Structure 1
């Protein structure tokens, strides 16, 4: 009975150590994959989300200003046509 208990204790310890090693390997692989992905994205020279959002807002504002200027120009041209 004592031998079985020691056997199971030893087996439990081995399994715990194996689980710890497996977790360490998992973390190591995770870190390596994350590092490679970050390097890949950096090499692609992608735009950051904050920069994209700021530029999109700027383009939207400028589009609205262009529309207002077009309407103003059309009104001025309409006024000249009426005077001529």
Structure 2
């Protein structure tokens, strides 16, 4: 009986150390994979999130300003057309008075 207990204890110790070694290998493999990903990302020259968000905000602001400018141009064109229309009407009235 004592012999069987000893064999089981030895097997438990071997299994325990094998599990510890497997956990250590897992940690080492994860570290190596992380290093490889970091190296690949560095080589790809990927933009950091903060920089992307800043440029996105700049682009949104530029788009809004462009839309505002387009509206102002449209408004100014309408005013100019109205003023030119008024000038043409006034010159027609002056021209018709001269012929009378």
* Interval containing the TM-score (normalised by the shorter chain): over 0.9
Q: How does 1:1-84 map to 2 (within 5 A)?
A: 1-84=1-84
Q: Which runs of 4+ in 1 moved over 6 A?
A: none
- What runs of 5+ residues in structure 1 fail to find an aligned partner? none
Larger radius of gyration: 2
Whole-Å Cα distance in 1 between the matches of residues 29 and 39 of structure 2?
15
Aligned length: 84
**Stretch deviating more after TM superposition (46-55 or 21-30):** 46-55
Q: Following TM superposition, by how much is the alpha carbon of 1:70 offset from its aligned partner in structure 2, in angstroms?
A: 0.9
Quote the RMSD (CA, aligned, Å).
0.8
Give me the TM-score of the superposition, normalised by structure 2: 0.80
Q: Following TM superposition, by how much is the alpha carbon of 1:81 offset from its aligned partner in structure 2, in angstroms?
A: 1.3
Q: Following TM superposition, by how much is the alpha carbon of 1:28 offset from its aligned partner in structure 2, in angstroms?
A: 0.5
